């Protein structure tokens, strides 16, 4: 027995419109309203507030490092679980190193030129508790710079650096 789809033999006698034609006739305002409908004013306000607070935490990190202000760094870092990672190059070999952020904060010394003119290259708020920022930190006296990748988490309502990894770009 051969199966023949019946739909192939049915002709539409009604004047139905193609749904694609109908959708394409909506005004741009409809699409804007549709998109904005997914974001409540509270969500947009919370995201703006988070962005501002993350940028302030980054500014505190840079200022703490520049001035040697250990207390400012401690306020910015998650001291209980935070970690810094980097690749240490010793001759031809490279090795991944790590240190607790609390240890890093306690060992900071003032560096007048550190981070002046830093730029946030990328900032992504993953959700209301997690963000990732990439910043370029100039070292003017050495004519070099760092690229810091900071994972930040909101802990007890405050954005903290929980993971810092960096790459140093020496003077060429």
Average pLDDT over residues 94-110: 93
In a domain, 18, yes or no: no
Rg (CA), the chain: 26
Nearest to 131 by CA among 150, 108, 115: 150
In a domain, 60, yes or no: yes
Q: Is the pTM of this model over 0.75?
A: no
In a domain, 14, yes or no: no
Nearest to 168 by CA among 134, 145, 136: 145
In a domain, 161, yes or no: yes
Write the CATH number for 73. Answer: 3.10.450.50
pLDDT digits (tens, 9 = 90+) for 125-158: 998 899 999 999 988 777 888 899 999 999 999 9
Query: Total structural domains in the chain?
Result: 1
Tell me which residue range forms the domain holding 107. 41-169
First to last CA, the chain: 79
Both tokens assigned to 12? 């539409």
pLDDT digits (tens, 9 = 90+) for 47-83: 889 999 999 999 999 999 999 999 999 999 999 999 9
In a domain, 12, yes or no: no
């Amino acid at each position: 027995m051969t199966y023949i789809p019946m739909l192939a033999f049915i002709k539409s006698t009604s004047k139905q419109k193609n749904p694609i034609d109908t959708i394409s006739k909506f005004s741009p305002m409809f699409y804007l309203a549709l998109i904005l409908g997914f974001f409540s004013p509270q969500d947009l306000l919370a995201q703006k507030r988070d962005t501002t607070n993350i940028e302030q935490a980054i500014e505190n990190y840079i200022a703490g490092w520049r001035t040697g202000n250990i207390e400012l760094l401690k306020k910015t870092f998650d001291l209980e679980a935070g970690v810094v990672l980097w690749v240490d190059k010793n001759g031809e070999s490279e090795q991944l190193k790590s240190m607790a952020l609390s240890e890093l904060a306690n060992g900071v010394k003032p560096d007048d030129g550190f981070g002046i003119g830093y730029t946030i290259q990328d900032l992504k708020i993953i959700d209301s508790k997690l963000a990732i920022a990439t910043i370029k930190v100039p070292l003017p006296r050495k004519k070099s710079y760092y690229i810091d990748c900071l994972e930040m988490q909101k802990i007890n309502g405050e954005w903290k650096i929980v993971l810092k990894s960096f790459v140093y770009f020496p003077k060429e």
